[in-house]
Amino acid sequence: MRSKRFEALAKRPVNQDGFVKEWIEEGFIAMESPNDPKPSIRIVNGAVTELDGKPVEQFDLIDHFIARYGINLTRAEEVMAMDSVKLANIALRPER
């Protein structure tokens, strides 16, 4: 038997959401979209000048933040050349 509280919560619109199918044309896809840019990085004179094929002149706020604070420039090219499965294992299973 469910409590009345849980019955009331189940009727709320937020709890009636369902799963929707991916909509690739509109970019509504979680992973591996055919529209995703190919990962890349270019570093010139100690600064990121390109990310994922986008030159620094086209960076948005998030790109600028990542380029400035989120990338270890001394290892970036080495890490970009690594297999993504190997990199995921290193990140998630450091004992390996």
User: Model confidence over 50-93: pLDDT tens digits?
Assistant: 999 999 999 999 999 999 999 999 999 899 999 989 988 988 98
**Cα torsion angle, 7, 11, 17, 19, sign:** positive
Q: Whose structure tokens read 């044309």?
A: 25
0.75 surpassed by pTM: no
User: Model confidence over 5-62: pLDDT tens digits?
Assistant: 988 888 888 777 777 788 888 888 888 888 888 999 999 999 999 999 999 999 999 9
- pLDDT at res. 96: 60
Element (H, E) at 41: strand 41-44
d(CA 78, CA 58): 24
